[in-house]
Amino acid sequence: MALVLCCALFATGTACGGDDDDAAGSSTATPTASASASAQKFAKTRFVANAGLAAGATYQWIVKPWRAGTFKSGADGRRVALVKAGLAGTFAYNRLKAAARNAEGDPLLAKAVAPLTAGIDALKDLPAKLRKGDTSVVGSFEDVVEQMKDAGKSAGAEVTDQVPSTSQLTG
């Protein structure tokens, strides 16, 4: 049963490419003054939510099992843990990208997050590596998430870990 669930989650994990940006960030909508002001008004809130979800997913399904030794060859539940880590990696990458876009709406936050965009972009292929069993990438995820949390804190937008639900991971 667990294997079937994990396979279903794995199959839908790549479908979580959407973002939480509103019409102001959409390429099909015409930006208006009120939409732009609204995006700036809630930039920190949306940044905190997206970065928190990325941090929670990274810790719960990537860092914690890695530290427990679940990713080691022959460990009980290794395959399931690797599939979950791959899904969590895809989700975390998506939420980190969304958080970086959200940060653009606040000048102080944008300045703090700007140096991290290259690090976030470097995470793009890491979820696939996790699914294949390459656990050497765990540190990269952990580092980028911690840097994002530090950047938010320095800009007055403290990020706390929020573990996403299964429906958030697959949706």
Per-residue pLDDT averaged across 76-83, rounded?
A: 91
Beta carbons within 8 Å of 117's beta carbon, 6+ residues apart: 100
**Alpha carbon distance 2, 114 (integer Å):** 40
Cα-based torsion angle of the residue sequence 162, 27, 118, 135 in order, rounded to the nearest 10 degrees: 50
User: Do 127 and 14 contact (CB within 8 A), yes or no?
Assistant: no
pLDDT digits (tens, 9 = 90+) for 111-162: 999 999 999 998 888 888 887 778 888 888 899 999 999 999 999 999 999 9
Of residues 47 and 129, more confidence is placed in 47
**Alpha carbon distance 115, 63 (integer Å):** 23
